[in-house]
Amino acid sequence: MKNIKNIIKAICLSSVLFGAASCNEFLTVIPEDEQVVETYYTSEEAVNANTASLYTANVWSDFHMNFMWMAGDELAGDLYYTYDQEGQFYYMTFQNGNTFLTQGWNGLYRVISYCNNIINGMPDAARGNGVSEEVINRALAESRCIRGIAYYFLTEYWKDVPIVTNNNIGSDVVIRHKQASVYEFIRQDLEFAKDYLPATPFQSGRCSKYTAIGMLAKLHLTMASHLSDASSGDNFNKAKSYAAEVINNSGFSLYQDLSTMFYPAGNNNPESLFALQCTSDGYSYGNSRNVAHSRNALITLGSSWGAGKGPTLSLQESFDANDARRHYTFMRNGDHYDNLAGGGYTYYNFSEDESTETSNEMLAHIRKYVVGANADCDGLAGTSNQDAGNNIYLLRLADVYLCYVEACIGSATSTTDALALDVFNRVRARAGFSAKVTNITYDQLIKERRIEFALESINFFDIKRMSYRDMNKALSYLNDMKRERHYYSNGQYTWQERNASNAYHGGFTSLDPNVDPSGKGSIYYLNPNAATITITESNLTLPVPAETITKTPNIMQEPVDYTF
């Protein structure tokens, strides 16, 4: 049987995705064509080929290539980047005309439209061609699981969003539905997926029932975080139960090699519950982050756009000095990597004469998901088309582990639950910590999650759950990061002085040369006049894109309950 990567490569070469986007329809949805589906779903292989499309980076491209990390990492205060519209997510100045905001919205509805095509068009056509009910239900379960995940992202970013199940819906009837309805819709999709997906993926990289159960744990944890809701306590219990089922029964385990976890070698490892399947088959089919986030062409031996991006000082300060994850999350002065730059790279804030490498404002650059040149990753670095072959995680087992801990804490402030302590310590043991934690506070958990999932674009969802619990706490958490802090390079030093054996250029100091009685100050110093970036409650819910409002004018009416 072909594995999912081979099927995806076939999809790249000859499209099995029928239908074309229509500018008259809602967003980027793909109209369903009954004549096409009747002649397409002729076998189990044909059904599998079409569901395989739902895992491709291409179908998710408008979401993952830009919006995913801009919203997930910049909004969360983990990623520094200030350029143009991309930087608006860092400064919290985005408005509904932001190009990448529109891409994110359209991208997630694009995924939903592909799922809807299969859910609505496949069963009768496949049944008429003699495909078994087991295969039909499995395909429905994959589609509904992935649709539920896409809706989870939508409602956590935009709160009240349209529930669209029919791709042929007219733009004049599109309205928003209340977040509670969206949660219930997601729950029903995931429950169906849980019941009909196999316990073990029938092909590597596919969803299993534990993908659905893991997402159910996260969904119920999110619902429970609305502490004023009468069902909050019940949802914490359900989140705990679902997460425990994954922990105890799934057979999934933590992947122990941090050096390859975000490389092609780590694709579909025992920790991966759901990941976008990335291939080096051209623009949008692979992982763009090797190009978008790498420091310079020395690392990729090709294109690179990551010079101005870096982990915020707040994120850097969150890591303990001996945390093994730090080295594989971001690079800073003196770090060496054997699997970058075609066989080895040492990171320095600047090159000897500053002609090839210069520092950024964070004195650090991104490491996670950066895989270097083809020689560093079995020929799967891709090209300047941004198509590296390392998968993009959307749900890891470690996430479910820490969701269990959070569910055990519930509305309280800490937990000593035995399983919570066990899985929390497992995550920390992989990071190199041998000491056992015997009590986990909510603040400890949030810090651990921030570090574990740094630059994976999911930490914003933790902040959203915190805001549901206590908006003031969430805003204090964000504003205490002081994300406006950044370093200046002290131009009073020549490059020879910078490279002197006793020069200090690797660490963090706020010594402004203008107030240094001994002379020039340090080679880098914190900007003493940076304007404060203040996050307010309104920043935590994204605006409906202007383009969408134009296409669907009724979308700005008050949201309503969905009729199930």
Residue with tokens 């001996």: 322
Burial class (CB in 10 A: 0-12, 13-18, 19+), 541: middle
364-382 exposure pattern, b = at least 16 Cβ within 10 A, e = fewer: bbbbbbbbbbbebbeebbb
Q: How far is CA 394 from the centre of its chain?
A: 6
What CA–CA distance (Å, rounded) separates 253 from 499?
Answer: 46
Does an H or E element contain 463, and which?
Answer: helix 459-469
What CA–CA distance (Å, rounded) separates 505 from 326?
Answer: 19
Which of 1.25.40.390, 2.70.98.90, 1.10.10.10, 3.10.310.40 would CATH assign to domain 4-67+78-231? 1.25.40.390
Burial class (CB in 10 A: 0-12, 13-18, 19+), 515: exposed
Does residue 238 contact residue 194 with C-beta atoms inside 8 Å? Answer: no
Distances (CA, A) of 98 to 306, 434, 545: 21, 46, 8
In tens digits, the chain (564 residues) has pLDDT values of 578 888 876 666 444 454 433 333 444 444 445 446 677 899 999 999 999 999 999 999 999 999 999 999 999 999 999 999 999 999 999 999 999 999 999 999 999 999 999 999 999 999 999 999 999 999 999 999 999 999 999 999 999 999 999 988 888 999 999 999 999 999 999 999 999 999 999 999 999 999 999 999 999 999 999 999 999 999 999 999 999 999 999 999 999 999 999 999 999 999 999 999 999 999 999 999 999 999 999 999 999 999 999 999 999 999 999 999 999 999 999 999 999 999 999 999 989 888 889 999 999 999 999 999 999 999 999 977 899 999 999 999 999 999 999 999 999 999 999 999 999 999 999 999 999 999 999 999 999 999 999 999 999 999 999 999 999 999 999 999 999 999 988 888 888 888 887 776 555 566 677 777 767 778 888 888 899 999 999 999 999 999 999 999 999 999 999 999
Does residue 75 contact residue 89 with C-beta atoms inside 8 Å? Answer: yes
Contacts of 368 (CB under 8 A, 6+ apart): 262, 328, 329, 330, 454, 455, 456
What CA–CA distance (Å, rounded) separates 307 from 363?
Answer: 11
Distances (CA, A) of 326 to 323, 368, 387, 425: 6, 10, 25, 17
DSSP 8-state symbol, 56: B
What CA–CA distance (Å, rounded) separates 398 from 393?
Answer: 11
What CA–CA distance (Å, rounded) separates 368 from 365?
Answer: 10
Residue with tokens 């096409």: 36
Residue 208, helix vs strand vs coil? coil
Distances (CA, A) of 548 to 123, 132, 163, 361, 551: 31, 40, 14, 36, 5
Domain boundaries, the chain: 4-67+78-231
- The string of DSSP codes covering 364-403 is -EE-TT---SGGGTTT-S--TTT-B---EEEEEHHHHHHH
What CA–CA distance (Å, rounded) separates 171 from 318?
Answer: 46
Does an H or E element contain 61, and which?
Answer: helix 61-62
What CA–CA distance (Å, rounded) separates 499 from 281?
Answer: 42
The residue among 455, 472, 452 whose CA lies nearest residue 406 is 452
